[in-house]
Structure 1
Amino acid sequence: MRTTVGIIGGGPAGLLLARLLHRAGMDCVVLESRERRYVEARQRAGILEQGTVDVLRKCGAGARMDREGLLHRGIELRFEGRAHRIDFPALTDGRSVMVYAQTEVVKDLVALQLADGPPLLFGAEVLAVEDPDSATPTIRFRHEGREGREGREQTLSCDFVAGCDGFHGVARRAIPAERTAVFERDYPYSWLGVLADVPPSCEELIYARHRRGFALHSMRSPQVSRLYLQVPAGTDPADWSDERIWDELSARFAVDGDWALERGPITAKSVTPMRSYVQEPMRHGRLFLAGDAAHIVPPTGAKGLNLAVTDVVTLARALTLHHETGSTELLDSYSETCLRRVWQAERFSAFMTDTLHPHPDRTPFEERLQLAQLERIAASPAASAELAENYVGLPLS
């Protein structure tokens, strides 16, 4: 097989990149190791920045999002029994965010790809990226045969390779370790996340800092709530009964007044570790990393999916310029351009995480500093604007 851009990974980053390249008249092939049913069911992020929303609309993948997504013009911070609203449009010249699950974004992009896009191969396990620093890198993969039969090994020759296959994928490991620098931080707590068949108890997301731990009230639709609890690292979700989860959520969201958390059947539970990770550079020869293959942020700042989108938008521009003019200017600056934004997102995500999560080994002094920071956000328009600008997303340059 032969193509211009070989894309490893059929998640939102790989699929969006394929869509952008297709619209620019460039051929590509997407290789995804999992089957379509699995890919379209993976529960991930649910907050789309303004820039992400704009990109999806522009590439033709925004129709269902605009019908079914929930436009959010703010978030609510809760601490010490009080609530403070951050008004996004008032603080960011009219920008906002959209609540629309990553699973739905993937479904929309898969449908477009299969209808009129370049090849998308499910069940294509990438084994290696070979000669990434040559003029013709090769992707070696095994494509599962029909009726579950083991597929034969194949090769895909490319001009460029885009590694959109996540932290555990092949692309990241294809860069020699001696040519990379890794920056990481692990947190001593995780998030216990649940999906519940109950209408949300709020119109906008609630971020609650409580002495017992952090809690987040989000949603997937007007009928489905998505909620999170800070728990110790290594927690087994089976140790938390439904009643215990609802009781703990109610305690952490408690606020002066008559607000109450609505309860309903919990349909899914999972634990998400919290970590920050950046691998530099994001390019090696003609191999380019995007999304979780290059960086991970704790979910508190809602940046993971949105960072992946800005990566592939930057890469698509660079590849399109090369395709149209032969210039490598944007390709050569890809890593540097992306990393400037990545580190701003890492900074904001760490700030939100450190401010809202009581540390298990915190001192009374540190606890007071957390509260002082939240008090400043609530009292200072400048501090509120700083949070809002980062949350809705810095403009795509």
Structure 2
Amino acid sequence: MTTNSSDRAPFPGTHRSTSATIRPSILWYLAAVVGERGVDLGPALTSAGLDQAVLESPELRVSYRQGCTVIERALELTADPRLGLAVGAVQTLTAWGPLGFALLASDTLRDAVELGIRYQNLAGAMLVFSMRDDEGPRPGFELRVDMPDPEVDPAVGVFLIDEALSSTVALIRLGVGDSFAPRLAEFTYPRPADTAAHTEWYRCPLRFGTDANRLLVPPEWARTPMPQRDPRTLASIIGMIDEAFSPRREQQDLLEVLEVSVTRSLPTVPSLADQAQRHSTSERTLRRRIAECGTTYEAIVDGVRREQVEQLLRRTPLTLREVARRVGFADERALRRAVQRWHGVGPTELRRMLGERAEAAPA
């Protein structure tokens, strides 16, 4: 039996803001899977401000919100509640670039998983992975995934959980052999009406409606040597990854700091000049640094306002005029225009939709 991991901190370095950017590999696999079913995801990508070039570029990034928007549309188009399981099952280590080869060169399966968690932001993960020892005289380990945004659309949440855990199993099997199976797989969402696909994929007992999403890896698998382990190659690749990862980590930190600053300042929105002064730099330099993150200050402000509007409409009975005031819009008309641009509906309709989603969410 595992210890209760809800009161333990995740593996160091696993925090993620929903404003952070990710590699678009998950959307590439999603487009490929639904494309094989005759579904064109192109319009959904376009409406989210993306295109095929973004998905295929190893350098470009997409936002967490863009990813969720595309996934939500894919679920609507396919009407497949097990789409996340299908997307996770087809993934390969080569899509991770140098990190994939580093995992293959690791000493044991446990070492490979720990390395993957350490550099999960480079892999394009949309959930937060962590691992802990499984209690017992011969401990294996517990691999856990958590939502960075607990109020994500319930259907999208199920997709993300299924994609994260099924892709983990797929990648482990590619590394140590197809006979791998966890000791137990647990999911926070309610038991689906049909669990045949989950049973066939995981090949282990399943539990639904649990306190965390996790896989329990038996000790015999945790200690399994990676067939292609190579300490010299591993050291070389890690050096390359660290050199590339440091700037990316700094960029994520900058985005999070700016997002928090804007959130705390509402209804007043700090100017870019104000932000530059707080960072002891010039406005021109700060704008350049934000551009290197693949975004703009205006987009950061827009994202903060969108999140705040959604929370106020979902959680409070405030009038639209008061919502507009709290997020710094000039008037109710400006709020209506913004909500229409974000969601394609007005704020009253959005409030209704958010209420329905909250009622449908698992307790």
Which structure has more helix as a fraction of its residues? 2
Q: What is the TM-score when the length of structure 1 is the normalising length?
A: 0.24
Bigger relative contact order, structure 1 or 2, given CA contacts below 8 A and separation 6+? 1
- The structure that is strand-richer by fraction is 1
